[in-house]
Chains A and B, each alone.
Chain A
């Protein structure tokens, strides 16, 4: 029997971008408001899981052709690299630095290396969560 999920699929396509943008928003506001890498990563995973529900596993692997184990590894390297940058300056491990920069579109913005660490967390969360879902869902 062929089911017709045209409503589900159309809605998923629209809602995916809303959830994804919200996850990016949550990720960037983490320093001053509730949010951060972990919640942001889980929300992104949630968006991808919505696509998985609406379509099938193979379609998702075609539109997102990443090896998510490697995504996890890159996230770990980013997090460790940010923390280990302090070794080069001979200050205690995990010492972060920040400064104000004037960016073309955003105006004066405070950039903090904790953000890089957070993007590592984000990648690890997305990578490991999707790996779990793919390996459970892909088992026949």
Chain B
């Protein structure tokens, strides 16, 4: 099966097309979406097993030789990210049955999700820098629909900002690729890496590296470029927010990781020092935001910014421990953010408000929700043996090994602030007395919302407890990132 690595991209794409034929039949939409995601999940698990057994999988579209056609490359890093993406989308889709509302479901909600998954998986898998731009647009255009779908006043206002920022960053992306192409003369990522090594990264290439950091930093919300994120992400309904928070910024983080480990590795003192400083500033900015708000959504949204900083700090170390930690933490963060958004969605559904000051005493009426939220909160903060621990441990270790002790200490301190910010939600929402009578909600939809939430929390627990079994996969992924020649040989072997 030479095309195996394309299946996680093609299957959601195909099912999204099928859904266009059944615009009004909501039940068919739901069933077909679940079938499509389940099939993609099977394909991506098979892909992970194949990459583990046989090494990096590549296919150059149209049977052209490698630097001339578009190469799709699936190393362990991208295979794991693709699997995580499909897995959490499956549960978020399950969650949206009860929460998104029939009106939205009738208006291409599920096709938009599947098109977005196509774009995300494509961006994770592609081995061609311009093709990556195309997949970015695929996922962004689907996300424009998701953010504005429903047409509430707030959604309209925020979607204008979101689209404006992303159109500008996409234009910058094209300009940056044009610069790179005029200097290097190729678009294939492995070939770019070879050519940059040949000319030993002159100043212009470092400029392009910073331009890439700006482009992907806007997508991935790093320090001075995260300004659009808190407002835009608070606008759409919770399931969309969960998908955005778990997936979209991580595509930017993936792209930074890929370009900074494959292309720009010859002037670490400049490019990676820049990345290091920005990642630490990102953490600090996120911490300030996470403590400042009494709004459930805003607290978790600023935690996305913190996590982006932590992952990029790991990447900036360029050593094995830092890289393994970054990969482990990236996947942990995708899972835990989906779980947390889904859980706070349930809290907002029960209390009818997202203001912490107006809620309290939920542990008496919804004990299981409270305990699962607490587990997820501890997982986010990184308390062993939960999933956030090992990644952060490795990142901190990488920081100390690379003589960035201050950065590592900032990361450790940020964990405390993360813990404080999410425990505040637990204390305000679950402890104390009921501030006001809860609005009437149906027991059935509460249960239907809890199932995917509990499943996501259990997956994160398993991800933390089963770290021992997962580490071989993480070190495979980190090997490719720390040694680009493995990637280049896999693509340009013929």
A binds B: yes
Residues of A within 8 A of B (CB): 69-70, 72-73, 76-77, 80, 84, 86-87, 90-96
Smallest Cβ-Cβ distance to A127: which chain B residue: B20
Instruction: Determine how close the nearest CB of chain A comes to the CB of B361; give it in whole angstroms.
Output: 48
User: Could you say which residues of chain B place their CB within 8 Å of the CB of A76?
Assistant: 17, 20
User: Could you say which residues of chain B place their CB within 8 Å of the CB of A77?
Assistant: 14, 17
B31 at the interface (CB under 8 A from A): no
Tally of contacts, chain A with chain B, CB under 8 A = 44
User: Told that A93-B6, A95-B62 touch, could you supply 10 new A-B pairs with CB distance under 8 A?
Assistant: A70-B20, A70-B21, A73-B21, A76-B17, A80-B10, A87-B3, A90-B1, A92-B62, A92-B63, A93-B61
B440 at the interface (CB under 8 A from A): no
Smallest Cβ-Cβ distance to B62: which chain A residue: A94
Q: Which of B2, B23, B72 contacts A90 (CB 8 A)?
A: B2
Q: Are A92's CB and B60's CB within 8 A?
A: yes
**CA–CA, A72 and B10, complex, Å:** 17
Q: Which of B3, B17, B23 contacts A92 (CB 8 A)?
A: B3
Given contacts A80-B10, A86-B3, contact A91 B63 (CB under 8 A): yes
User: Could you say which residues of chain B place their CB within 8 Å of the CB of A70?
Assistant: 20-21
User: Could you say which residues of chain B place their CB within 8 Å of the CB of A72?
Assistant: 20
**CA–CA, A96 and B14, complex, Å:** 19
Which range contains the number of B residues in contact with the other chain?
10 to 19
User: Could you say which residues of chain B place their CB within 8 Å of the CB of A92?
Assistant: 2-3, 59-63
Instruction: Determine how close the nearest CB of chain A comes to the CB of B263; give it in whole angstroms.
Output: 25
User: Could you say which residues of chain B place their CB within 8 Å of the CB of A69?
Assistant: 20, 23
B97 at the interface (CB under 8 A from A): no
Max chain B Cβ within 10 angstroms of own Cβ: one of A70, A87, A93: A93
Instruction: Determine how close the nearest CB of chain A comes to the CB of B388; give it in whole angstroms.
Output: 38
Smallest Cβ-Cβ distance to B5: which chain A residue: A93
Instruction: Determine how close the nearest CB of chain A comes to the CB of B117; give it in whole angstroms.
Output: 15
Instruction: Determine how close the nearest CB of chain B comes to the CB of A101; give it in whole angstroms.
Output: 22
**CA–CA, A84 and B13, complex, Å:** 12
Q: Are B17's CB and A96's CB within 8 A?
A: no
Within 8 A of A (CB), among B1-47: 1-3, 6, 10, 13-14, 17, 20-21, 23
